[in-house]
Structures are given as structure tokens and as C-alpha cells.
């Protein structure tokens, strides 16, 4: 699929030169990287030091989270009185890592505990009545909800009537009214001024552990070890949640992920090591690896069997750890087969529909599709047909579905504008879930497509590739790539930089495994080998001697020799390149309001 290239705004030349000089006291600092740092809000030497070397001392005081004092007081009391605590978490990666964090913390400090993960298909998302009944059944007096609970008004009222003290640890936006609980830890509370508003659910759990540890020591309970630090103990779990929940890797998330990746690479929790060992080949383990190799194995448990298995594996306490990890691997293999099969069916349905090219959205239904996989497939369909997409299947006589958006388009508001045809829905800008009656399908499809047609902008109808900087091959050297590596962890808010070079001569090319290309490129008297994954069809369509390329320079080790390679993000013939400056993009009209179709 063709991408629109968008070149980010260049900082002032004098500012870039000044920053490069400040950072190059011992060795010259690449001007190109100084420009990129300025683009990312790093303007001074001190800010660069914080960016490149984040320390645990930069973490925020956990007591800045509203009602943290009440949560700590109640849990310290539970430990001193020998009360049982139930940790209740969502069934995705964020929820299960949060539960694992608190369970391991409870074991370290001698807290009597149990945990509960709801069944995705029987109980659905969030706090369930069945889970509350389980807490009562096991004799728990305190329930800590993790990655859920902020909107569970009815369920937590039920828990209150059952005599349970509930502590909510969530990171989703609250409704107009807060649920009944003795403490609610959520950085998005209106009365909370916590500096980092984009913590994950596991991140909130980690802040609770950070506050609890010194309080337990003060209460006379000995620490698990002399050098015990809860953030370092469980930073690998929190980093996994940061990666898989796709939150901005900025502020506190960057600090946690920086130290978490170090732990993952050197000394991960045994349970995570067991999951990592399932991935083939050696790797450095970065945020992307966690998203693609570890996250799906955990999610597969909740999608195809039960997410409790994932917690048991991550806790790493079972003698059958390798066997449990292998079961998750088998679930993931099964999930991938279903994913591939349903994706093929969905694309075939689109190809057979003569009306689809005239629509602004994609809505597909098949009663046999697996409920746990359709969200993933919706993302695949968006990759092929760049439109807001909804995939539906049948459950309990109703249509249930998952929706995925395109960059910049507010899917949630579009669904809201067509919600007269829905039983219920929920989600956010880029992903949502919905339920409707069978007889409402046609009316919903029509209304949803009308809303998308009225509100989607032209620049949202084509995937965009954001380019940090134009450079020539003469600027690419080992020092540039080494410093690029120090900008990790990469992710939302701090993407790995993408460079652009024009009028590059193709000296050699070949197709690899049908989908990929390998090129030998020359410019400014320098030659590099470049690989473009999934770009074979584009290359076959555009054979050209001179090309413009978007890419990321990386080190590649082959037969113990380290070379510089280029990872191609896109390639087009030089005469066909079209780049939109960021300034023009920012001056585009405001998105239309989903409800009215008018600009905001």
C-alpha cells in the first residue's frame, strides 16, 4: 500500500549547532541527531542527560496519586492482621502483568493473597459479580482491582454490600461518578494531579508497590532483602505492559522501560525468561520484540483458554514452568492459524463485494469467526484496506465485534454517532468493542459509513510515514548508529528515527522469499546494503535505477563482522516521490465533529 511521506519540521539551525556543541565536549556529536533531539523536546545538555540516562531518582512520589495513603494504610493493616487480599485483574497483558506484580510483591512481604482473572467469554471485561463472589468464598476482606474497576459502579456496590474493602488501581478515564471504594488510584481522576497521566495498569500497580514497601518496613515487617527495590524487582513486568498497551514511552514510562529492558536482557523473572525462550533466534530484546514475541503468547491464553495460565507462567513458581510456557506457545500457534484463516476469509469477502470500493468504512460479519481473534484481524484488514474497520461475529444470539481505526481518525466518536443501533459499546480513539442485535446490522453499517464519510479527512485515507530528517549517505557512520541506540527505549512518543535520502543509485537488487527485497545502494561515493521487508511487490511495480528511500540505519552482524545496513521503510522512484512538510499538515482543517459533520 502506498504511503504518504511527511517530513517533520526542522529546528532552527543555530539551536541544533549549539546543542551538538554542548553534547560534543569529548567527541563530535552528529548534527543530525541534535536536530532530532530538538524535534523531540530535548533542548539542553541537562535535558539530554535526563533523556539518555534516566534514573530511578527521577520517578515521581507515589503519594502524588490521590488516595494512595488510604490504599497503603489498608494493605499494611491487612498484612499485620493476617487478612486475605484478592488481586483482581483484566485478562490482557496489562492486567495479567499487574496481577503478577502484586502477587509477587505479596509473596515477598508475607501477605496472604489469591488472584482472580475473569473469563473473557463468560464474564467479559472488568470486575465481575462472579469474581466478587469468589472473594467472599475464599474469605478475602480486601479486593484490589488492577487495570479495571474505575467504571464498575454496580459491581463495586455489590462488593461493598458483601462487606469487602475495595482498592481500585486503574488507568482508564473515570465516568461522571467514582465507584464506591476505600481508595481509587487512577492518574486520570479529575482530582488527581499526578504528573504522568499515561501510566499503564501495571504501572499503577508498581506505584502501589513503591509506596507499600517502605510503609511495611516502618510497620516492623522486614524487607525481603537489604537491597530490595520494588521498581527494579518488577520493572520487567511493567515494561512488558508499557510495550503491549502502546502507551507513550515518555516521562515515568521511559524511566521504567529503560531499567526494565536492562533487567529483561540480563536477569528477567524466570516466568518471563520461559516465555522469551519460546521465541526463535537470538535477539537484543527491545520494545518491539516484547510486542511481537511475548505479548501475543500472554494474550493467547485469554483469547483461546484462560488468562490465569499466563499469570501462573509469569509468576514462575510452578515446577512445570516450561510445560506451562509451552502450552501458551501452543495457544499462540493456534491463535496465529485462526488469525490467518479469518484474515483470508475477510479479504475474500471484500474482494467479492462490488460495493466496497465506494464505501468509506469496512464492516464484516461471519457467525463462525472466533470472538477472541477478530480484533487482531480487524487490524490486518486495515493494513490491506486503509479504512475504519469493524469485524463482527455471533455470541449468545447477538452480534459482537471489535473495531480498529486509521491514523488520526476518532473511531469511538464515529461509533457513538451510530450508537442508536447498538446495545452497548466502549473503547477509545483507535480501538473499540460493540454489541448489536442481528436485525440492526444493515442499519448500523449504513449509518456508520455515513458518519465516517462526513468526518474523515483526505489525509486520513492513506497511511502516513513520518520522516525525521533528510540526510545523505556521507552522514551515516558507526557513531551515528551507536548514539541512535542510546535513544532507546523506542515506542509511542519516541519512535526510532526514520531518515530520508533522495536520488540513490540502485547497484543491485533481488527478491527474497517472495515478500522482501535486498538492494545495494550508492550515494555520495558510499555504498550500503538495504533490506525492505514486505516491499517486494512495490519493487516489482517500480523498477528504477534511481530511488528515494525512507529507512533506519542499523548494525548487522554477519560471520562475526559488524556492518552498517539500512532497514527500508519505503522506496519509490525518484521522480515519483511526494513529501508533505509537517507545517502544511498542521495547517490542515480540523477534523469534523462526528455527531454533526461540521468542523470543530
Over the stretch 402-425, which tens digit does the pLDDT of each residue have? Answer: 899 998 898 989 999 999 999 888
Number of structural domains found in the chain: 3
pLDDT at 224 over 90: yes
* Positive/negative CA dihedral, 465, 488, 562, 522: positive
Contacts 24+ apart (CB under 8 A), 520-523: 521/473, 521/547, 521/549, 521/566, 522/473, 523/472, 523/473
Residue 170 lies in a domain: yes
pLDDT at 591 over 90: no
Residues 117 and 136 reside in one and the same domain:
yes
Residue 318 lies in a domain: yes
Residues 416 and 469 reside in one and the same domain:
no
Residue 17 lies in a domain: no
- Burial (CB < 10 A; 0-12, 13-18, 19+), residue 13, is exposed
**What was the pLDDT predicted at 321?**
55
**What was the pLDDT predicted at 273?**
86
Q: Express each pLDDT in 41-59 by its tens digit.
A: 999 999 999 999 999 999 9
**What was the pLDDT predicted at 590?**
34
Which of 430, 460, 490 terminates a domain? The answer is 460
Residues 84 and 98 reside in one and the same domain:
yes
Residue 55 lies in a domain: no
Residues 309 and 363 reside in one and the same domain:
no
C-beta of residue 321 within 8 angstroms of C-beta of residue 274: yes
- CATH at 386: 3.10.310.30
Q: Express each pLDDT in 513-548 by its tens digit.
A: 778 999 999 999 999 999 999 888 777 655 568 999
Residue 56 lies in a domain: no
Q: Express each pLDDT in 440-472 by its tens digit.
A: 999 999 999 999 999 999 888 888 889 999 999
- CATH at 211: 3.90.1640.30
Residues 506 and 394 reside in one and the same domain:
no
Q: Express each pLDDT in 230-266 by its tens digit.
A: 999 999 999 999 998 888 899 999 999 999 999 999 9
Residue 340 lies in a domain: no
- CATH at 498: 2.40.50.460
- pLDDT band of residue 295 (cuts 50, 70, 90) is confident
Residues 493 and 527 reside in one and the same domain:
yes
Residues 232 and 108 reside in one and the same domain:
yes
Residues 496 and 445 reside in one and the same domain:
no
Q: Cell 539551536 belongs to which residue?
A: 15
Helix (H, G, I), strand (E, B) or coil at 204: helix
Bridge partner residues of 521 (DSSP): 506, 528
**What was the pLDDT predicted at 600?**
25
**Residue 259 lies in domain:** 62-324
Residues 160 and 274 reside in one and the same domain:
yes
Instruction: Tell me the helices (H) and strands (E) count for the chain, helix number first.
Output: 21, 19
Q: Express each pLDDT in 165-207 by its tens digit.
A: 999 999 988 888 999 999 999 999 999 999 999 999 999 999 9
Overall average pLDDT of the 89-112 stretch: 94
Residue 417 lies in a domain: yes
Quote the DSSP letter at residue 429. S
Residues 95 and 122 reside in one and the same domain:
yes
C-beta of residue 272 within 8 angstroms of C-beta of residue 315: no
pLDDT at 304 over 80: no
**What was the pLDDT predicted at 548?**
93
Mode of pairing for the β-strands spanning 469-470 and 84-89: unpaired
Residue 330 lies in a domain: no
Q: Cell 490482557 belongs to which residue?
A: 92
**What was the pLDDT predicted at 339?**
80
Q: List b or e across 56-66, with b for residues whose CB sees 16 or more CB atoms inside 10 angstroms.
A: eeebbebeebb
Mean of the per-residue pLDDT values for the chain?
Answer: 88
Residues 436 and 473 reside in one and the same domain:
no
Q: What is the dihedral of CA 510, 513, 516, 521, to 10 degrees?
A: -20
C-beta of residue 326 within 8 angstroms of C-beta of residue 318: no
Which of 270, 303, 324 terminates a domain? The answer is 324
Residues 231 and 263 reside in one and the same domain:
yes
Amino acid at each position: 500500500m502506498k504511503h504518504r511521506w511527511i517530513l517533520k519540521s526542522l529546528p532552527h539551525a543555530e539551536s541544533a549547532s549549539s546543542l551538538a556543541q554542548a553534547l560534543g565536549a569529548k567527541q563530535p556529536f552528529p548534527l543530525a541527531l541534535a536536530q532530532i533531539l530538538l524535534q523531540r523536546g530535548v533542548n539542553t545538555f541537562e535535558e539530554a542527560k535526563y533523556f539518555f540516562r534516566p534514573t530511578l531518582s527521577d520517578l515521581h512520589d507515589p503519594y502524588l496519586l490521590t488516595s494512595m495513603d488510604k490504599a497503603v494504610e489498608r494493605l499494611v493493616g491487612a498484612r499485620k492482621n493476617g487478612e486475605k487480599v484478592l488481586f483482581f485483574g483484566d485478562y490482557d497483558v496489562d492486567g495479567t502483568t499487574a496481577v503478577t506484580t502484586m502477587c509477587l510483591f505479596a509473596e515477598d512481604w508475607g501477605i496472604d493473597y489469591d488472584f482472580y482473572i475473569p473469563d473473557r467469554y463468560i464474564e467479559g471485561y472488568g470486575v465481575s459479580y462472579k469474581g466478587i463472589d469468589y472473594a467472599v468464598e475464599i474469605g478475602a476482606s480486601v479486593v484490589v482491582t488492577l487495570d479495571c474497576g474505575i467504571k464498575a459502579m454496580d459491581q463495586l456496590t455489590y462488593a461493598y454490600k458483601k462487606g469487602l474493602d475495595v482498592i481500585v488501581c486503574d488507568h482508564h478515564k473515570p465516568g461522571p461518578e467514582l465507584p464506591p471504594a476505600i481508595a481509587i488510584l487512577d492518574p486520570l481522576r479529575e482530582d488527581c494531579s499526578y504528573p504522568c497521566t499515561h501510566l499503564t495498569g501495571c504501572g499503577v500497580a508498581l506505584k502501589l508497590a513503591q509506596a507499600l514497601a517502605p510503609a511495611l518496613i516502618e510497620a516492623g515487617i522486614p524487607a525481603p532483602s537489604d537491597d530490595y527495590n520494588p521498581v527494579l524487582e518488577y520493572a520487567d513486568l511493567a515494561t512488558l505492559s508499557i510495550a503491549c498497551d502502546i502507551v507513550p514511552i515518555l516521562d515515568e514510562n521511559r524511566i521504567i522501560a529503560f531499567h526494565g529492558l536492562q533487567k529483561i536482557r540480563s536477569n528477567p523473572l524466570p516466568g518471563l525468561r520461559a516465555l522469551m525462550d519460546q521465541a526463535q533466534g537470538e535477539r537484543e530484546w527491545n520494545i518491539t520484540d516484547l510486542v511481537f514475541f511475548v505479548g501475543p503468547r500472554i494474550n493467547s491464553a485469554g483469547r483461546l483458554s484462560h488468562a490465569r495460565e499466563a499469570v501462573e507462567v509469569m509468576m514462575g513458581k510452578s515446577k512445570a514452568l516450561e510445560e506451562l510456557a509451552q502450552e501458551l506457545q501452543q495457544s499462540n500457534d493456534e491463535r496465529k492459524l485462526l488469525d490467518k484463516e479469518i484474515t483470508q476469509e475477510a479479504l475474500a469477502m471484500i474482494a467479492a463485494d462490488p460495493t466496497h470500493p465506494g464505501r468509506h468504512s469496512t464492516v464484516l460479519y461471519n457467525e463462525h469467526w472466533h470472538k477472541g481473534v477478530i480484533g487482531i484481524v480487524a487490524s490486518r484488514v486495515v493494513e490491506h484496506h486503509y479504512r475504519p474497520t469493524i469485524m463482527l461475529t455471533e455470541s449468545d444470539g447477538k452480534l459482537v465485534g471489535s473495531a480498529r481505526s486509521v491514523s488520526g481518525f476518532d473511531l469511538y466518536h464515529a461509533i457513538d454517532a451510530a450508537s442508536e443501533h447498538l446495545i452497548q459499546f466502549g473503547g477509545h480513539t483507535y480501538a473499540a468493542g460493540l454489541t448489536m442485535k442481528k436485525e440492526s446490522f444493515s442499519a448500523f453499517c449504513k449509518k456508520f459509513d455515513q458518519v465516517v464519510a462526513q468526518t474523515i479527512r483526505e489525509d486520513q485515507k492513506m497511511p502516513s510515514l513520518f520522516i525525521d530528517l533528510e540526510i545523505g549517505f556521507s552522514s551515516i557512520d558507526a557513531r551515528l548508529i551507536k548514539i541512535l541506540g542510546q535513544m532507546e527505549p523506542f515506542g509511542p512518543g519516541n519512535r526510532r528515527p526514520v531518515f530520508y535520502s533522495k536520488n540513490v543509485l540502485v547497484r543491485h537488487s533481488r527478491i527474497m522469499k517472495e515478500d522482501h527485497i535486498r538492494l545495494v545502494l550508492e550515494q555520495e561515493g558510499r555504498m550500503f546494503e538495504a533490506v525492505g521487508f514486505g516491499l517486494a511487490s512495490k519493487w516489482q511495480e517500480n523498477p528504477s535505477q534511481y530511488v528515494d528511500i525512507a529507512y533506519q540505519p542499523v548494525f548487522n552482524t554477519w560471520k562475526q563482522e559488524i556492518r552498517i545496513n539500512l532497514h527500508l521503510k519505503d522506496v519509490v522512484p525518484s521522480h515519483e516521490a511526494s513529501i508533505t512538510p509537517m507545517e502544511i499538515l498542521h495547517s490542515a482543517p480540523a477534523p469534523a465533529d462526528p455527531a454533526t459533520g461540521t468542523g470543530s
